[in-house]
Amino acid sequence: MMVIRPIRAEDYPALYDMAVESGHGFTSLPVNDELLQRKINRSEDSFAKEVSKPGDEGYLFVLEDTETGFICGTSAIEAAVGLDDAFYHYHLGKVVHTSRALGVYNTVDILTLCNDYTGATELCTLFLREQRRLKHNGKLLSRFRFLFMAEFRERFSDRVIAEMRGVSDEVGNSPFWQWLEEHFFSVDFPTADYLTGIGQKVFIAELMPKYPIYVSLLSKEAQAVIGQVHAKTKPALALLQSEGFSTTGYVDIFDAGPTVEAKLEHIRTARNSRRLQVRVADVSGGQPYLICNCDRQNFRASWTHLHVSETSEEVNLPPDLAAALQVQDGDWVRLARL
């Protein structure tokens, strides 16, 4: 059975392997022992911490095959970004150059450096290992986070965002960054991406152009990838769009990948989720559902087929699923249709 749970210290080797497998452009999983260990420690502290509003908490989860103990993937939620370190984006806007005397009216696209998403909740670090990209594993690894946020609403912002990986090749070359590198940075994309991933962002403020960039001045290759996603990221983008996420003109400062956003109360899985009381029974069949327990520190989530009435206040769970979710008769679960 596939089960989502909070990461633990003993999961470090698996997390390191996934950082290596994720490749260039995956900023939130840098291949760095100290940082990855710090992520685990911070996550454990965040789950244990009592909070009344979102702060500098980071919740890191893993997807485990309970039959083998194999860690199949990971995903995370940042409660509120930009509170300690500046959180940069480019916003794609427009300026108008007009002259009545000459009869000229030109609309020009510009990129403006900003920190507009400060305080927003971020979905991040979603990675499913290649050999486990089947059935509903990808949907589970992404969508269970909406159940977690709906259950522990006070821990998250109303505004939820996700940065989509932009276009780069197999060795880490980004057409957008190549233009910035040539004119401003003199640092290659993998290096800049790695420095950001380990929290060394001061070079951005020091070297990033301070004034809006006219898109028409960029290379044709750089212009072509603004707001475009990496080929391997297209399924993740489609999934978030189906949940109600949309683009609003914000792109990554390194590879120009789009950032999508939604209000938490408008996210489909969170909005349609229900809290029901457990009855353990020998049942099978039904419709596919995401389901989680309501225990923060011992959080568990999975997917299964269930028979759930629209008017019922209870749900029958088979014994193996109840055991995997660490619930028994009378406990509460939150669920939503897949």
Mean pLDDT of 4-32: 87
* 3-state percent breakdown (helix, strand, coil) of the chain, nearest 5: 35, 30, 35
Of residues 294 and 135, which shows the higher confidence score? Answer: 294
Instruction: Please tell me the least confidently modeled range out of 11-15, 61-65, 201-205, 267-271.
Output: 201-205
For the record, the structure tokens of 325 come out as: 């979710």
First-residue to last-residue Cα distance in the chain: 17
- Residue ranges of alpha helices (H) inside the chain are 12-22, 33-48, 137-151, 175-180, 189-197, 202-207, 220-225, 234-243, 268-272, 319-325
Give me the pLDDT at residue 203, please: 66
Q: Are 93 and 110 in contact (CB under 8 A)?
A: yes
The pTM of this model reads 0.90
Phi, psi at 181, each rounded to 5° = -60, -45
Secondary structure of residue 172 in the 3-state scheme = coil
Give me the pLDDT at residue 210, please: 77
Give me the pLDDT at residue 85, please: 82
Give me the percent of the chain exceeding a pLDDT of 70.
94
pLDDT at 206 over 80: no
Residue pLDDT, tens place only, 145-159: 999 999 999 999 999
Q: How far apart are CA 273 and CA 146, in angstroms?
A: 9
pLDDT at 26 over 80: no
Parallel/antiparallel/unpaired status of strands 287-293 and 301-306: antiparallel
Q: How far apart are CA 171 and CA 184, in angstroms?
A: 21
| Residue from 230, 266, 305, 307 carrying the catalytic annotation | 230
230 is catalytic: yes
Give me the pLDDT at residue 187, please: 73
For the record, the structure tokens of 292 come out as: 């989680």
Secondary structure of residue 127 in the 3-state scheme = strand
Q: How far apart are CA 209 and CA 183, in angstroms?
A: 9
Q: Left, alpha or beta for 285 (phi > 0: left; psi -120 to 50: alpha)?
A: left
Residue pLDDT, tens place only, 157-201: 999 999 998 998 877 788 998 888 888 877 776 677 666 666 666
Give me the pLDDT at residue 321, please: 96
Cα–Cα distances in angstroms (integers) from residue 8 to residues 17, 64, 312, in the given order: 15, 12, 35
Secondary structure of residue 135 in the 3-state scheme = coil
Q: How far apart are CA 11 and CA 39, in angstroms?
A: 12
Give me the pLDDT at residue 194, please: 67
Mean pLDDT of 293-302: 97
**Partners of 293 in beta bridges:** 333
Q: Are 167 and 255 in contact (CB under 8 A)?
A: yes
Mean pLDDT of 69-91: 93
Give me the pLDDT at residue 97, please: 87
Cα–Cα distances in angstroms (integers) from residue 135 to residues 32, 304, 311, in the given order: 31, 11, 29
Q: Which structural domains are found in the chain, ordered by start?
A: 2-89+114-269 (3.40.630.30), 273-337 (2.40.40.20)
Residue pLDDT, tens place only, 177-189: 888 888 887 777 6
For the record, the structure tokens of 128 come out as: 């499913």
Residue pLDDT, tens place only, 255-287: 899 999 999 999 999 999 999 999 999 888 899
Residue pLDDT, tens place only, 132-145: 877 788 899 999 99
